[in-house]
């Protein structure tokens, strides 16, 4: 069912990783803004994050799979953060607002995981009463 709060969080995650990552610059190197389309590893990781968010959105009947997909997506965004930090410390660059996007995505995914866990606990408590 798409009317649950975790569905909203997953939609916000896919919007953030799919649309906002193309709008905001990630770095500024010698006065030139570096966008997502210029770095293929960023592009692959952000598009994978978007795809996993959309897939987990449609697994609303199987909450355990949805929970696992959200965890995988969190790990993927942690890889993005590590990659951003590595690049920002090895090359002298000015950081852009796009570097914050994986943190925002992780926050949405953690909130979605909490809501999925809450639904799963509610279903288990109802099953106990039967």
Can you give the pLDDT at residue 9?
93
Can you give the pLDDT at residue 107?
96
Indicate the average pLDDT of the chain. Answer: 86
- Residue 68 and residue 41: Cα distance in Å, rounded? 23
Question: Element (H or E) spanning 100, and its range?
Answer: none
Is 0.85 topped by the overall pTM? yes
Q: Dihedral (C-alpha) 55, 60, 65, 68: value to the nearest 10 degrees?
A: 70
User: Residue 104: exposed, middle, or buried by beta-carbon count in 10 A (0-12, 13-18, 19+)?
Assistant: middle
Helical packing angle, 101-129 and 63-90, nearest 10°:
160
Q: Under 8 Å CB-to-CB from 24, ≥6 apart: which residues? A: 96, 97, 98, 101
- 70-99 pLDDT, tens digit each: 999 999 999 999 988 887 777 766 677 778
Domain residue extents for the chain: 5-123
- Residue 52 and residue 13: Cα distance in Å, rounded? 10
Q: If we measure between CA atoms, which residue out of 104, 111, 98, 107 comes closest to residue 33? A: 98
């Amino acid at each position: 069912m798409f009317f649950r709060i975790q569905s909203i969080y997953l939609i916000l995650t896919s919007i953030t990783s799919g649309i906002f990552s193309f709008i905001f610059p990630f770095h500024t190197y010698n006065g030139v803004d570096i966008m997502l389309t210029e770095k293929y590893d960023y592009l692959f990781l952000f598009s994978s994050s978007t795809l996993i968010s959309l897939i987990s959105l449609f697994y609303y009947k199987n909450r355990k799979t949805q929970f696992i997909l959200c965890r995988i997506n969190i790990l993927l965004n942690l890889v993005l953060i590590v990659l951003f930090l590595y690049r920002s410390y090895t090359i002298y660059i000015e950081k852009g607002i796009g570097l914050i996007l994986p943190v925002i995505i992780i926050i949405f995914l953690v909130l979605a995981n909490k809501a999925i866990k809450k639904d799963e606990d509610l279903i288990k408590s109802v099953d106990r009463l039967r």
